Amino acid sequence: MKKTNWSRKTIGLLSAGLIAASLPPAMSCPVYASGTAGGERGAAAGVSGEESGGTAGVSGEQADTAAAQTISVTGVREEDLGKVSVRAYQLADGYYEDGMLIRYVLTDPENAPITDLEHPAASEISSAAAAIAAGKYRDMDQGTVTLKRDGNTDTFKGEAEPGLYLVLVSGGEQTEYNPAVVAVNVADANTGAASGGTVDMGKFFTEGSEKAYLKYTSYGRELGADKKIAGSAHTADSLSAADSPVTVGNPRADAVAKGDLISFSLDGITIPAYTDAWESPVFMIEDALDDTFGEISGLRVEVRKRKDGTNEYGAYEEIPSQDAFSLTGGNGKKNFRIQFSPAFLKSFQRETDLRPEIRITYQSKLEKTDHYNFSANLNRMTVTYSNDLTDRNSTKQVTDHTYHYTFAIDGSMDPDAANDGDENTKTWQTSEFVKNGVRVTTADEQDKTVVKDSDKNTTGTKENGKVNTVEKNALSGAVFTLYKDETMKEPIASSASDGNGTFSFLGLDTGTYYMKETKAPEGYTPNTTKYRFMIGSVTYSDEGAMTSYQVAVSAKGEADEEYRDVKSFLYHVKPAVSAETGRITNTVETAVGSQTPVVIRNVRLKNLPSAGGAGIFTAAAAAAFAGAAGIVLSGKKKDKEKADKK
């Protein structure tokens, strides 16, 4: 490269090139790395161009004798490979005389001043990066190197002439990469021997004895934005033996009853490592509840930082100043948006080993039962953040969700899908119980036409030449009451059977319930059988979508001492979660139609006759009866007299 008409202010003379920086194995930004260790500074170290005989406008031609060398950038995250752009912008270039490297000069001392090229300060690198991002950097394209990915590795390489370069990685998916520096050093000014440096985007930069900023910060479930249910209705201690099939401890899914108060916690949301290079970084957290939830209450925004002198987190502390963030929605609403101020975000730029973390907590009740069984009540969180220093208007988003399930007896497996107009969804209707009336009629055997007629829903049994025909009819108007206690003293819900003989209970949690008929249909005797059913054996996918649950039914009649198992219903789906909305689409894998319900029968009250009987006579009937009796008696008497005469 030939240089003419120098007008760049020279900063320092390094007789043997840039001194190499040691790179500890951690994360930081900026990172200063070079390929070789430089020698000691010469006698003219720190002498300006004017003092060494040059001027601000050095004339003549200086030929570079050092050839371009390979610089490398490693540590780009796997999810960003093939997507990011890696560019190295020249901060300092070599100045040559008589074919030898004399000094390094800044490319743009106005927008990227560096006091000591051997030890560039983090603030100086941030300022230079900001100038590049704003398009202010002089000769933006001259000396800029675009690095290409080396095969299938996480390494990017490019050819660069001797000098100091600022590396910017842009276009990451969930990662914000802060600026780093890398150098091509001339090891021997006489021969022009040089070597390229390597910078690891996942290492710390040591500035004196202190570690500088994080190199990058990644968001999402892997490194922080962990939304979970803080106050699960089920814990290992609270479950009784009867509830033991219930799955416990899934932080993204829970089984709840209508009216339950749910505590939410958005934990471990890492504050990005925004340096002064970022003018107005965006970092915003939004949360939205389904309409089935009630209003938000108890909203708190907290932060925790590293304890002084330790490598451990301190306790979460509420953020008191509204200058730190703006709040839209929140308490009394069903959603909120929290946007942190750039000043607040950048106040943590020098935190390294443990990045400060945000926690947001609040509560809400489940108030409606529009979604039940495999239809989830959704809570959706979105984090929007700046992650491309070269594009001020560019932001990325990550989402996280929690799912809240409540259950129904005799309801659709997935009411959302049942409303989609697909006629096949009618097979998704469950029917754990059905109410039937029973009437028995007896006829002579010769009058029997059928023993079983499915069309008429009748069955016949042959007994001693007679046929008993049992007609089963769906009964409406039977009332069933639900209890949580086995003594059935504390009712929690009631439901009446409809014209199909079915009745429903909605908004149930997992656990054990007791049920009995508390009102019989008109004209029928009540059924005295007591029923117990357990909702449990719930399984979830890793994303929190429910995959199966079970309803086990047992019964106890008047003669039974204990409940006896009657029937068990196991329902199973294959869920698919939308990455964009968090909504779940279920593929039903249970043939509901093949599962017959538990039949609860009522018998008709006997129809006692009221047509009269012996002992009720009219006067005429009594006289006629008496006359007839007298004739008989007279006849018998005459016969006796005849016998006596003989």
Structure tokens at 270: 């890492």
Report in angstroms the alpha-carbon separations of 66 from 182, 227, 394: 17, 54, 39
Q: Burial level of 470, CB count in 10 A (0-12/13-18/19+)?
A: middle
What percent of the chain stands above pLDDT 70? Answer: 69
Residue 548 φ then ψ, to 5°:
-160, 155
Range name among 204-213, 403-412, 494-503 with the lowest pLDDT average = 204-213
Structure tokens at 38: 């430089």
pLDDT value of residue 33 = 46
Q: Are 66 and 192 in contact (CB under 8 A)?
A: yes
The Cβ-side half-sphere exposure at 465, using a 13 Å CA radius, reads 1
DSSP letter, residue 428: G
Beta-carbon count within 10 A of 247 CB:
18
Name the residue among 43, 16, 33, 19 with its Cα closest to residue 101. Answer: 16
As annotated, the residues of the chain forming the CATH 2.60.40.1120 domain(s) are 2-218
Name the residue among 206, 203, 218, 75 with its Cα closest to residue 147. Answer: 75
Report in angstroms the alpha-carbon separations of 510 from 302, 376, 535, 597, 601: 33, 14, 5, 20, 27
Quick check: 373 pLDDT over 50?
yes
The alpha carbon of residue 534 and the mean position of all alpha carbons in its chain are separated, in whole angstroms, by 27
As annotated, the residues of the chain forming the CATH 2.60.40.10 domain(s) are 409-442+472-603
Quick check: 349 pLDDT over 60?
yes
DSSP bridge partners of 185: 195
Mean pLDDT of 56-74: 63
Quick check: 7 pLDDT over 50?
no
Name the residue among 581, 488, 493 with its Cα closest to residue 530. Answer: 488
pLDDT value of residue 148 = 96
Strands 335-340 and 283-289: antiparallel
Q: Are 129 and 274 in contact (CB under 8 A)?
A: no
Higher local confidence (pLDDT), 25 or 389: 389
Q: Which helix (H) or strand (E) holds 417?
A: helix 415-418
Alpha-carbon dihedral 313, 318, 319, 322, rounded to 10 degrees: 170
Quick check: 170 pLDDT over 80?
yes
Quick check: 171 pLDDT over 70?
yes
Q: How confident is the model at residue 187 (pLDDT cuts 50, 70, 90)?
A: confident
Quick check: 255 pLDDT over 50?
yes
CA triplet 61, 166, 49: central angle to 5 degrees? 35
Quick check: 62 pLDDT over 50?
no
Residue 131 φ then ψ, to 5°:
-65, -40
Structure tokens at 387: 């992650």
User: What ranges make up the beta strands (E) of 141-179?
Assistant: 145-149, 156-160, 163-170, 175-177
pLDDT value of residue 592 = 55
Q: How confident is the model at residue 212 (pLDDT cuts 50, 70, 90)?
A: low
Q: Are 532 and 556 in contact (CB under 8 A)?
A: yes
Q: What DSSP letter does each residue of 543-603 carry, written as one string?
A: TS-EEEEEEEEEEE-TT-SS-EEEEEEEEEEEEEE-TTT--EEEEE-S-GGGSPPEEEEEE
Quick check: 527 pLDDT over 90?
yes
Residue ranges of the alpha helices (H) in 94-148?
A: 122-133
Range name among 79-93, 212-226, 367-381, 568-582 with the lowest pLDDT average = 212-226
Q: Reduce the secondary structure of 490-559 to three states and give it as a string.
A: CEEEEEECCCCCCCCEEEECCEEEEEEEEECCCCECCCCCEEEEEEEEEEECCCCCEEEEEEEEEEECCC
As annotated, the residues of the chain forming the CATH 2.60.40.740 domain(s) are 226-404
What percent of the chain stands above pLDDT 90? Answer: 32
Q: Burial level of 223, CB count in 10 A (0-12/13-18/19+)?
A: middle
Beta-carbon count within 10 A of 365 CB:
16
Report in angstroms the alpha-carbon separations of 152 from 172, 370, 476: 17, 49, 69
Residues 6 or more apart in contact with residue 379 via CB below 8 angstroms: 227, 264, 287, 288, 289, 290, 293, 401, 402, 403, 404
Residue 341 φ then ψ, to 5°:
-75, 150
Rg (alpha carbons) of the chain, rounded to whole number: 43
Q: List, for residues 600-609, the tens digit of each pLDDT value.
A: 998 888 778 8
pLDDT value of residue 143 = 84
Q: Are 342 and 281 in contact (CB under 8 A)?
A: yes
Architecture of domain 409-442+472-603: Sandwich (2.60)
Place of tokens 């161009």: 49
Q: How confident is the model at residue 271 (pLDDT cuts 50, 70, 90)?
A: confident
Place of tokens 């449990």: 536
Q: Are 89 and 144 in contact (CB under 8 A)?
A: yes
Higher local confidence (pLDDT), 202 or 260: 260
pLDDT value of residue 460 = 47
Q: List, for residues 225-250, the tens digit of each pLDDT value.
A: 344 444 433 333 333 333 333 333 46
Report in angstroms the alpha-carbon separations of 44 from 106, 115, 135, 637: 17, 16, 34, 169
Report in angstroms the alpha-carbon separations of 540 from 313, 405, 545, 573: 32, 11, 5, 11
Mean pLDDT of 470-494: 89
CATH of domain 2-218: 2.60.40.1120
Q: Which helix (H) or strand (E) holds 625?
A: helix 619-645
Residue 447 φ then ψ, to 5°:
-85, -5
Assign domain 226-404 one CATH number from 2.60.40.740, 3.20.20.140, 3.30.2230.10, 2.40.50.180.
Answer: 2.60.40.740
pLDDT value of residue 238 = 33
Residue 388 φ then ψ, to 5°:
-135, 105
Cα(98)–Cα(194) distance, integer angstroms: 17
Q: List, for residues 307-338, the tens digit of each pLDDT value.
A: 887 888 899 999 988 889 999 999 999 999 99
pLDDT value of residue 395 = 83
Quick check: 563 pLDDT over 80?
yes
User: What ranges make up the beta strands (E) of 406-510?
Assistant: 407-409, 433-444, 452-453, 458-463, 466-474, 479-483, 491-496, 505-508
pLDDT value of residue 306 = 85
pLDDT value of residue 210 = 56
For the chain, the average pLDDT equals 75
Place of tokens 């005989």: 53
Mean pLDDT of 395-403: 83
Name the residue among 176, 172, 170, 165 with its Cα closest to residue 33. Answer: 165
Cα(273)–Cα(206) distance, integer angstroms: 16
pLDDT value of residue 454 = 37
Higher local confidence (pLDDT), 630 or 173: 173
Place of tokens 């929140």: 330
Cα(247)–Cα(38) distance, integer angstroms: 62
Q: What DSSP letter does each residue of 64-95 carry, written as one string?
A: --SPPEEEEEE---GGGTTT-EEEEEEEEEEE
Mean pLDDT of 485-494: 94
Report in angstroms the alpha-carbon separations of 619 from 354, 605, 612, 613: 112, 37, 16, 16
Q: How confident is the model at residue 532 (pLDDT cuts 50, 70, 90)?
A: very high
Quick check: 34 pLDDT over 80?
no
pLDDT value of residue 423 = 54
Structure tokens at 372: 């039940």
pLDDT value of residue 631 = 41
Give the end-to-end CA distance of the chain in Å, rounded to a whole number.
172
